[in-house]
């Protein structure tokens, strides 16, 4: 469960995310707890737990270049080690695949010590769609998809923030 509020940017940092809720009683208790803690919230998001490697995919309008597309390790790694790469939109599939190969943590995504590689084509599709969205909607100033959970056969956008 995640508290929905335009004033909460990093939900995990302030305790606006509760994991492993297994029944309605726990969900109701979490709703009450977050309502008391944060006061005015717009609602709650309840979603299935997603597993995988965490990546960040984002877009930010640059005053000179226009929409720029970002890819890197996500979750806490996005801020802790800032392992990202950038391109100016429009980004095509081959360029999206090259972006992913540029980060220092590429071996994590390729699978280490017997782990499976993430599906790079699925991640590239998200990058392409984000690039297209940024170009078709100039009113969007920033999009942050973090984390995107990637596995060998799926990608799940766990959290998204859009600024207009």
Structure-token match 């942050």, residue found: 144
Q: How confident is the model at residue 41 (pLDDT cuts 50, 70, 90)?
A: confident
pLDDT in tens, 80-115: 888 899 999 999 999 999 999 999 999 999 998 889
Number of Cβ within 10 Å of residue 68's Cβ equals: 18
pLDDT in tens, 16-32: 888 889 899 999 998 88
Structure-token match 């940092």, residue found: 13
Q: Give whole-number Cα distances, 49 to 46, 73, 87, 126, 151, in Å.
A: 9, 19, 31, 20, 13
* Confidence (pTM): 0.83
pLDDT score, position 105: 92
Average pLDDT on 53-79 reads 92
According to DSSP, the residues that pair with 153 across neighbouring strands are none
pLDDT in tens, 115-139: 999 999 999 999 999 999 999 999 9
Which strand (E) or helix (H) includes residue 72? strand 66-73
**Domains of the chain, earliest start first:** 2-45 (no CATH), 53-163 (3.30.470.20)
Give the Cα separation of 100 and 122 in Å (integer): 12
Which strand (E) or helix (H) includes residue 99? helix 93-102
Residue 151 has pLDDT above 80, yes or no: yes
């Amino acid at each position: 469960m995640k508290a929905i509020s335009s004033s909460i940017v990093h939900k995990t940092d302030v305790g606006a995310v509760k994991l492993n809720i297994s029944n309605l009683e726990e969900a109701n208790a979490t709703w009450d707890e977050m309502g008391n803690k944060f006061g005015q919230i717009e609602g709650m998001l309840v979603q299935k737990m997603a597993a995988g490697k965490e990546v960040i995919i984002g877009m930010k309008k640059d005053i000179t270049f226009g929409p720029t597309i970002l890819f890197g390790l996500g979750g806490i790694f996005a801020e802790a080690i800032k392992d990202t790469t950038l391109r100016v939109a429009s980004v095509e599939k081959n360029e999206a695949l090259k972006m992913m190969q540029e980060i220092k943590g590429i071996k994590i995504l390729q699978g280490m010590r017997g782990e499976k590689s993430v599906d790079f084509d699925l991640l590239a599709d998200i990058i392409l769609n984000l690039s297209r969205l940024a170009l078709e909607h100039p009113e969007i100033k920033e999009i942050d998809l973090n984390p995107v959970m990637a596995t060998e056969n799926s990608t799940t956008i766990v959290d998204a923030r859009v600024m207009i």
